[in-house]
Amino acid sequence: MKNIIGIVAGEPNSISSEIIFKCWKLIKKNKFNDFIVIGSIKLLTAQQKKLGSNVPIYEIKRNFKLNDVKKSKLCVLNVDYEQKKPFDKISVKSNKYIFSCFNIAINLIKNKKISGIINCPISKETLFIGKNYGVTEYFSKKLNEKDKEVMLIFNKKLSVAPCTTHIPLKYVSKRINKGDIIKKVKTINDFYINKISKKPKIAVLGLNPHANSSEDFSEERRIIKPAIDQLKKMKINVVGPVSPDTVFANYKSKKINVIFGMYHDQVLTGFKALFKFKAINVTLGLKFTRVSPDHGVASDIMGKNKANPESLIESIKFLNYMK
């Protein structure tokens, strides 16, 4: 049985439709698994007209069969959405539509209609207004997998993962703990072994500058180092606490595969400087694989035909070649 990938259209007022159209044109001749788009046909058609694209759109039903999905057309499972203009300002007006797309994708996963989900960019600030979480946490909550999720930003050369995700920096020191570090690093290690066929070397970063603190309470001494010691007893190849200011300069010479940091920007800043669009966001710890392009909605260039589809292409490649 061939596997079908579900691409959630994401924020309607963004570059999502553009990268979907460009991606379809670039990969339709390759031997990739077929994919369907979960989104509004009316909106996609209007946006395609504005972008000057000519991708043939074909509607499929929610009870589609494998033979209904055709490589010669962009197959879309329609979700109702009313919008007067092809592109508008990003606002909470789109939230109901986006959540409908997410929930349809989750139901397709549960019914084994699709094997994995790729969600195109959303605006966290408007979709999860007032909440300190994002899509990673939303999927885990909907699937009763809360606190099991791990955000991994993946590239074959190097991946990164934060212990805490979408929370303000002032809360980080209060939220990191030995148990979470052990659980998340183990999840990453298992993923590499079971899906990538590789035992990774994982560098665990300290929280303080130079992974050191002279204060009576040191997160490195009280939390991070004991977690690393326990992981080593579990035969997981970890090193640390590693200084965050040199790890991205030395990862090649140290043969590091994954950098595990204590907060979001500690690992994402250096990683994006190195790899730009050649990376994807993978949610580990769920019963299915969820990935997304590792970039935002790019509202400044939406509708201008300037968007780079490379990260979406990498997402599709990842789901195709994973074990």
pLDDT tens digits for range 13-39: 999 999 999 988 887 666 677 889 999
From 143-147, 168-172, 186-190, 201-205, the region with the lowest mean pLDDT: 143-147
CA 209, CA 116: separation in Å to the nearest integer? Answer: 39
| Per-residue pLDDT, 96 | 94
Evaluate whether the domain defined by 1-147+285-323 bears CATH number 3.40.718.10.
yes
In 88-245, alpha helices (H): 95-110, 124-127, 135-142, 172-175, 178-191, 219, 225-233
At residue 277, does pLDDT exceed 80?
A: no
Cβ atoms < 10 Å from Cβ of 231: 21
Task: Place 1 in a pLDDT band, splitting at 50, 70 and 90.
Answer: very low
Percent of the chain whose predicted confidence (pLDDT) is above 90: 59
Please tell me which residue, 237 or 213, carries the higher pLDDT value: 237
The whole-number pLDDT of residue 177 equals 95
Q: Among 109-113, 220-224, 237-241, which is the least confidently predicted range?
A: 109-113
Kindly tell me if the per-residue pLDDT of 227 is higher than 90. Answer: yes
Please enumerate in sequence order all residues whose Cβ is within 8 A of that of 44, keeping only pairs 6 or more positions apart, or say none.
9, 17, 20, 37, 57, 76
pLDDT of residue 28: 66
Query: What's the mean pLDDT in 73-84?
Result: 91
Model pLDDT, residue 271: 93
Tell how far CA 29 is from the center of its chain.
25
Averaged over 183-189, what is the pLDDT? 97
pLDDT value for 215 = 64
76: enclosing H helix or E strand:
strand 74-78
**Arithmetic mean of pLDDT over the chain:** 89
Q: Are strands 74-78 and 35-39 parallel, antiparallel or unpaired?
A: parallel
Q: For the chain, what are the domain ranges?
A: 1-147+285-323, 150-279
Distance CA 51, CA 46 (A): 9
For range 132-153, the mean pLDDT: 82
Q: Give the pLDDT band of residue 84 (cuts 50, 70, 90).
A: confident
Check residue 286 and give its pLDDT.
Answer: 85
1-147+285-323 and 150-279 share one fold? yes
pTM above 0.95, yes or no: no
What number is the average pLDDT over the span 287-305? 88
Is residue 216 pLDDT above 70, yes or no? no
- The pLDDT value recorded for residue 199 is 96
Across the range 276-285, mean pLDDT stands at 86
Is residue 249 scored above 80 in pLDDT? yes
pLDDT above 60 (res 323):
no
pLDDT score for 167? 85
Whether residue 225 is predicted with pLDDT greater than 90 in this model: the reply is yes
pLDDT of residue 30: 65
Q: Does domain 150-279 have CATH number 3.40.718.10?
A: yes
